[in-house]
Structure 1
Amino acid sequence: MEAKTEPYLTSHPDANGFFGPYGGSFIPPPLQAQMDEIKTHYLELRQDPQFIAELDEIRRNYQGRPTPLQYAKRLSESIGGGGETGVEIYLKREDLNHTGAHKLNHCMAEVLLAKHLNKRKVIAETGAGQHGVALATAAAYFGLECEIHMGAVDMAKEHPNVTRMKILGAKVVPVTEGLQTLKEAVDSAFGAYMADPVTAMYCIGSVVGPHPFPMMVRNFQQVVGEEAKEQFLERTGTLPDHVVACCGGGSNAMGIFSVFIDSPTVKLHAVEPLGRGPTLGDHAASLASGSEGIMHGFNSIMLQTPPTITSSAPTPAPVHSIASGLDYPSVGPEQAYLRSIGRTETGCGATDEETVQAFFALSRTEGIIPALESAHAIAWAMKVAKDAVERGERTRVLVNVSGRGDKDVEYVVEQYPQLVTVV
């Protein structure tokens, strides 16, 4: 008799928070005690019917879930696909989730957990500002203080989201160290949390950080995949051939990938930011170009500078991406694990230029202005679909539009004026 295989989501991570060699918790003992408390309460609450019902009510009547699944007819046709060819692109519209991105899925749940832990304040980092806006929203909803750390470069680049956070009542802390982007914002937020871990809770913005956050954020984002799978089956009668999502830390990707991991016919594409080119410091493609290392309390694949005379160990490398939410020198441990076992496809990435072209392509074929983060996924989905057209293969591509592009409009107009005006 053939042994039954345990479902992936129930067997990963292990009890210590590892996905294979990746993950775990590498933090000071006082902070570990707080993480253990968060883990214990989370594991209890995830089985609590009252907690589940409250979160479900919030998702339906506050967030506006489920978000739609849209067949992108004109986008599909623009690359030579469409119904007649059998090459179709479908969009999971997380840009229509309240606050305009997938981030609220885990923020509402994390702040609800903080309330159960009797915390008075939530602290977080943000890159593009979407996690910061989502956490400020959740804090306002539940009546907690909120402190958001954001790199000064990102604050200038994503000014609309900075304003939104302040309107929602959050304290926004500018980070001026180093490259003044996402990695430095995480450093700053962690430092603030370590100064007051008893009354505050650090609400990590992706599937990164020490255990239990990679597991917890994935599980809160799983709603995206569950909805998309049900909607896709209802719409087409089949599973998608490809599922595509942008990948910085990897929360939106893990959310939509989660329910397809045990379906081997579905190819999963975690699209990394290839930035300006392959030179270290010009991109943020951790999976493609990184190596194993520990940062921010977890072990994963990260971009590192080699040891020097003054430093005997590698250090996190400088990174670049046109999308502030993707310029992080590491990746979630589960994304590292899935790539290591061959469950996600290799070579998935989009340059800054390809991303901007996809940004305008979706805007002008479907009337949807995507976040620059999401535009990476759109760029790759278009490539996958176009390759299928050229091979004469029937294929359906599901792409997660993880956020809307309101926050990026000013930056795009300033940097790419030649593309804005149609002659």
Structure 2
Amino acid sequence: MVIETALVSQMDAPTAAGRFGDFGGRYVPESLIPACAALEAAFREAWSDPEFRGHLSRLRSEYAGRPTALTPAENLSAQLGVTLLLKREDLAHTGSHKINNVLGQALLAQRMGKTRLIAETGAGQHGVATATAAALFGMRATVYMGERDIARQRLNVFRMELLGAEVIPVTSGSRTLKDATNEAMRAWVAAVDEAHFCLGSVSGPHPYPWMVRELQRVIGEEARAQAPALPDVVVACVGGGSNAAGTFAGFVDTPARLIGVEADGGAAMTYGTPGIVHGNRSLVLQDADGQVREAESIAAGLDYPGVGPEHAHLGTSGRAEYRTVTDDEVLVAVRRLARSEGIICALESAHAVAWVLRAAGTPDLPTGSTVLLTLSGRGDKDMATLAGEVR
């Protein structure tokens, strides 16, 4: 059923203050206000420059391997009674959607005269993409990663180091993505003249949520052009939410339902309340005293206590819907997709698959529906986790 609020948000630029409805903004130390303002001005100028856009388009095509395929999941479709189409970001260079954003930010940093990229990473895919772009552009890369995530994503740590990046373990707090982001932002304050903070999701202070969404918009635009007909439902996993924001941007002006799927232990859209984290106002997991609660997920990339402010706006406005799945459902989804379609997806992406498996044939996803699902990444990085969990 098409919801009546289908055209509430067109995912255009935020307000001058960087807000999407009640969410967003720029809550950073005074020393970073000029850096954020300079970044916004530089991005606006670059995004309207045909030469910059053309260069980025060539990089995406010749280097990153775009457009990625839209693959009909014929076996699962027959089993579930829905038509399932997979947008294959797992086929992009470095193995996930993260390269779309990083190539754009690295090109922008070079244009601004920066010589170093600073990044945060959870699952490691953003860190790998940042290290890749730094090598390509002849820049230095420093990646902050929680100690806990380093332990469960050893392959990606090795990939980053092989590419020449310095990986700095973060031992504070939960030792996951939240804490890595804290340390990356502190490092940016100390090196703002030479370094660009290459933020990996649609979070952070303005202009990052808008800029990252625009750089990921290519996912949704390609998928809409590739789909044989308009899907009934568009679904993607959500942590900070960049792959979902990029996907939704291609369909927000259509009657398609937009479904974001969160980890049950990190579901800010479902269990969060308005608060400020990492430079923006959004929905955040908080305790009764307003302190940020730790998130939990088998997927390192979804182990985050907040969500991008535009997702908070899409959800509270009624344009997008958000669901949760458990770790157990995710593991079942990885195995089911692998054995039905020969595709081993990332644990993050498997959250979207898990919701489809659960919802197919119910009123939430009626038989005969067409579903377009973004597979945000491939599962190579998760082999150590899966080896102990999936049989």
Q: If the TM-score is normalised by the length of the shorter chain, which range does it land in?
A: over 0.9
Number of positions where the alignment pairs a residue of Structure 1 with one of Structure 2: 385
One-letter code aligned to 2:285: L
CA distances 1:285-328 after superposition (whole Å, capped 9, x unpaired): 10100100011110000000222xxxxxx111011000000011
Distance 1:121 1:389, change over 3 A: closer
Of 133, 150, 158, the match for 1:155:
150
Q: Find the counterpart in structure 2 of residue 411 from structure 1.
A: 385
Q: Find the counterpart in structure 1 of residue 278 from structure 2.
A: 296
For 1:7 and 1:305, locate their aligned partners in 2 and report how far apart those are by CA, in whole Å: 30
Contact 1:111–1:139 (CA under 8 A) maintained in structure 2: yes
Contact 1:339–1:345 (CA under 8 A) maintained in structure 2: yes
Q: Find the counterpart in structure 2 of residue 364 from structure 1.
A: 339
For 1:387 and 1:397, locate their aligned partners in 2 and report how far apart those are by CA, in whole Å: 14
One-letter code aligned to 1:220: L
Whether 1:183 and 2:173 are equivalent positions in the alignment is: no
Whether 1:328 and 2:340 are equivalent positions in the alignment is: no
For 1:327 and 1:288, locate their aligned partners in 2 and report how far apart those are by CA, in whole Å: 14
Whether 1:268 and 2:258 are equivalent positions in the alignment is: yes
For 1:324 and 1:58, locate their aligned partners in 2 and report how far apart those are by CA, in whole Å: 28
The structure with the largest alpha-carbon Rg is 1
For 1:28 and 1:155, locate their aligned partners in 2 and report how far apart those are by CA, in whole Å: 29
Q: Find the counterpart in structure 1 of residue 49 from structure 2.
A: 48
For 1:306 and 1:327, locate their aligned partners in 2 and report how far apart those are by CA, in whole Å: 21
For 1:334 and 1:145, locate their aligned partners in 2 and report how far apart those are by CA, in whole Å: 31
Q: Find the counterpart in structure 2 of residue 311 from structure 1.
A: none
CA distances 1:155-213 after superposition (whole Å, capped 9, x unpaired): 01011000000000000000011110010100111111111111101011100000000
One-letter code aligned to 2:298: I
For 1:199 and 1:207, locate their aligned partners in 2 and report how far apart those are by CA, in whole Å: 23
Contact 2:14–2:20 (CA under 8 A) maintained in structure 1: yes
CA distances 1:237-264 after superposition (whole Å, capped 9, x unpaired): x20000000000000000000021111x
Residues 281-320 of structure 1 aligned to structure 2 (within 5 Å): 283-307=265-289, 314-320=290-296
For 2:190 and 2:183, locate their aligned partners in 1 and report how far apart those are by CA, in whole Å: 11
Whether 1:136 and 2:131 are equivalent positions in the alignment is: yes
**What is the SS of the residue equivalent to 1:146?**
strand
Displacement, 1:9?
3.5
Whether 1:90 and 2:80 are equivalent positions in the alignment is: no
CA distances 1:25-76 after superposition (whole Å, capped 9, x unpaired): 0112220100110100100010111101100100110000000001101112
For 2:375 and 2:253, locate their aligned partners in 1 and report how far apart those are by CA, in whole Å: 22
Displacement, 1:394?
2.0
Q: Find the counterpart in structure 2 of residue 240 from structure 1.
A: 231
Q: Find the counterpart in structure 1 of residue 3 from structure 2.
A: none
Displacement, 1:77?
2.1
Q: Find the counterpart in structure 2 of residue 8 from structure 1.
A: 10
For 1:381 and 1:92, locate their aligned partners in 2 and report how far apart those are by CA, in whole Å: 14
Q: Find the counterpart in structure 1 of residue 27 from structure 2.
A: 26
For 2:44 and 2:365, locate their aligned partners in 1 and report how far apart those are by CA, in whole Å: 48
**What is the SS of the residue equivalent to 1:150?**
strand
Whether 1:226 and 2:227 are equivalent positions in the alignment is: no
One-letter code aligned to 2:282: S
**What is the SS of the residue equivalent to 1:25?**
coil
- CA-based RMSD: 1.5
**What is the SS of the residue equivalent to 1:325?**
helix
For 2:188 and 2:283, locate their aligned partners in 1 and report how far apart those are by CA, in whole Å: 24
Of 180, 187, 190, the match for 1:192:
187
Counting aligned pairs with the same residue, the percent is 46
Whether 1:119 and 2:114 are equivalent positions in the alignment is: yes
**What is the SS of the residue equivalent to 1:92?**
strand
Contact 2:8–2:317 (CA under 8 A) maintained in structure 1: no
One-letter code aligned to 2:83: E
One-letter code aligned to 1:359: V
For 2:138 and 2:45, locate their aligned partners in 1 and report how far apart those are by CA, in whole Å: 23
Q: Find the counterpart in structure 2 of residue 254 from structure 1.
A: 245
**What is the SS of the residue equivalent to 1:382?**
helix
For 1:388 and 1:9, locate their aligned partners in 2 and report how far apart those are by CA, in whole Å: 28
Displacement, 1:114?
0.4
Contact 2:359–2:365 (CA under 8 A) maintained in structure 1: no
**What is the SS of the residue equivalent to 1:124?**
strand
**What is the SS of the residue equivalent to 1:248?**
coil
One-letter code aligned to 1:244: V
Which consecutive residues of structure 1, in runs of 5 or more, have no partner in the other structure?
82-86, 275-282, 308-313
Displacement, 1:388?
6.1
For 2:31 and 2:370, locate their aligned partners in 1 and report how far apart those are by CA, in whole Å: 49
Contact 2:9–2:319 (CA under 8 A) maintained in structure 1: no
For 2:55 and 2:330, locate their aligned partners in 1 and report how far apart those are by CA, in whole Å: 38
One-letter code aligned to 2:142: E
**What is the SS of the residue equivalent to 1:169?**
coil
CA distances 1:373-401 after superposition (whole Å, capped 9, x unpaired): 0000111122333326995x421001000
Distance 1:390 1:134, change over 3 A: closer
Distance 1:382 1:177, change over 3 A: same
Whether 1:352 and 2:327 are equivalent positions in the alignment is: yes
One-letter code aligned to 1:298: N
For 1:385 and 1:255, locate their aligned partners in 2 and report how far apart those are by CA, in whole Å: 24
Q: Find the counterpart in structure 2 of residue 72 from structure 1.
A: 73
Q: Find the counterpart in structure 2 of residue 343 from structure 1.
A: 319
One-letter code aligned to 1:382: L
Which consecutive residues of structure 2, in runs of 5 or more, have no partner in the other structure?
1-6
